[in-house]
């Protein structure tokens, strides 16, 4: 335990929670300890990721052990790959019908996450798609794209809009991982916007796969609203923080 804490301290990782998995020394360890394929680890390295960033060291092992997390680390610290790597591994073979859902505040960010997902999924046949604004006439096409996707990336707005259209039938009951990226941005804003997001999140959560469903929240800053929401809603929560603890 002492060694483990020493390793975390060296990398500026702080954790709160019970039975926290050890932080990851190296991507190669994933092969022996988590049955990650060599091909996938090579893809990660081909992306230019020689070593995990501090937030990745702790998020990867937590998510691979199915733990729900709130992860806070500064902008540019590699949070995107921190959630994409475990998801891409755990989904295994493509099935179609979303099994991972990633929510983020803007379309631009959704596209960025999508691009990183494409790079990291090079050695897999998993399918990934972004839900963006489309013409009325193309909505049925979009429905079928989502039904074929293993991973779906969307803003809460767009997704809820689609979910509420009559004769569009998108099921999220196979969703095993629900990711909220930039959770601080999603929960912030005026009281109205805030409750808007909470309502949307609630609607999405109730549609996502029952007891099997896990959530992971990512944020650049610590905000009381997000912390409180996670403590109330995420069983067995692990708080992971890297860098400054700014409220």
Q: Applying CB under 6 A, does 52 fall inside the site for ligand ADP? A: yes
Q: Which of 78, 156, 209, 227 binds ligand ADP (CB under 6 A)?
A: 78
Residue 209 binds ligand ADP, judged by CB under 6 A: no
Pattern 55-74, ligand ADP, x by CB under 6 A: -x----------------x-
80 binds ligand ADP (CB under 6 A): yes
Report in angstroms how near the CB of residue 82 gets to ligand ADP at its nearest: 7
Q: Spell out the residues 6+ positions from residue 170 whose beta carbon is closer than 8 angstroms to its own.
A: 143, 146, 147, 162, 163
- Nearer CB in complex with Mg ion: 77/171: 77
- Between 28 and 203, name the residue whose CB sits nearer to ligand ADP: 28
Question: Could you say whether residue 227 binds ligand ADP (CB under 6 A)?
Answer: no
Nearest to 218 by CA among 71, 63, 57, 55: 71
* Among the listed residues 79, 99, 185, 213, the single contact to Mg ion using CB under 5 A: 79
Q: Which is nearer to ligand ADP, 76 or 210 (CB)?
A: 76
Among 75, 144, 167, 169, binds ligand ADP (CB under 6 A): 75
- Listing DSSP states for 171-232 in one string gives --TT--EEEETTHHHHH-SSHHHHHHHHHHHHHHHHHS-GGG-EEEEEESS--HHHHHHHHH
Give the C-alpha separation, 31 to 44, whole Å: 12
User: Tokens 């803007």 map to which residue?
Assistant: 106
Pairing label, strands 13-16, 238-242: antiparallel
Q: Is 76 in the site for ligand ADP (CB under 6 A)?
A: yes
Which uninterrupted H or E stretch holds 70?
A: strand 69-72
Return the axis-axis angle of helices 156-163 and 139-148, rounded to nearest 10°: 110
User: Do residues 127 and 151 lie in contact, with contact meaning Cβ atoms separated by under 8 Å?
Assistant: yes
> Could you say whether residue 105 binds ligand ADP (CB under 6 A)?
no
The least CB distance from residue 246 to Mg ion, in Å, is 16
Of 71-79, 114-122, 130-138, 222-230: span binding Mg ion (CB under 5 A): 71-79
- State the residues that interact with Mg ion by CB under 5 A: 79
- State the residues that interact with ligand ADP by CB under 6 A: 48-49, 52-53, 56, 73, 75-81
């Amino acid at each position: 335990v002492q060694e483990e804490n020493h390793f975390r301290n060296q990398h500026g990782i702080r954790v709160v929670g019970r039975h926290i998995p050890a932080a990851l020394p190296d991507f190669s360890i994933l092969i022996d300890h988590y049955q990650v394929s060599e091909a996938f680890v090579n893809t990660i390295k081909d992306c230019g990721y020689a070593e995990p960033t501090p937030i990745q060291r702790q998020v990867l092992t937590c998510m691979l052990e199915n733990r729900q997390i709130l992860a806070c680390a500064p902008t540019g610290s590699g949070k995107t790959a921190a959630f994409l790597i475990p998801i891409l591994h755990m989904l295994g073979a493509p099935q179609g019908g979303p099994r991972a859902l990633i929510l983020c505040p803007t379309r631009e960010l959704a596209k960025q996450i999508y691009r990183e997902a494409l790079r990291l999924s090079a050695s897999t046949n998993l399918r990934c798609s972004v839900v963006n604004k489309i013409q009325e006439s193309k909505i049925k096409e979009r429905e079928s794209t989502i039904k074929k996707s293993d991973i779906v990336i969307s803003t809460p707005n767009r997704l809820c809009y689609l979910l509420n259209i009559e004769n569009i039938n998108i099921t999220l009951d196979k969703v095993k991982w629900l990711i909220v990226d930039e959770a601080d941005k999603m929960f912030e804003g005026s009281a109205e916007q805030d409750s808007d997001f909470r309502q949307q999140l609630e609607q999405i959560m109730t549609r996502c796969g029952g007891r099997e469903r896990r959530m992971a929240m990512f944020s650049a800053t610590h905000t009381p609203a997000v912390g409180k929401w996670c403590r109330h809603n995420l069983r067995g929560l692990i708080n992971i923080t890297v860098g400054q603890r700014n409220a």
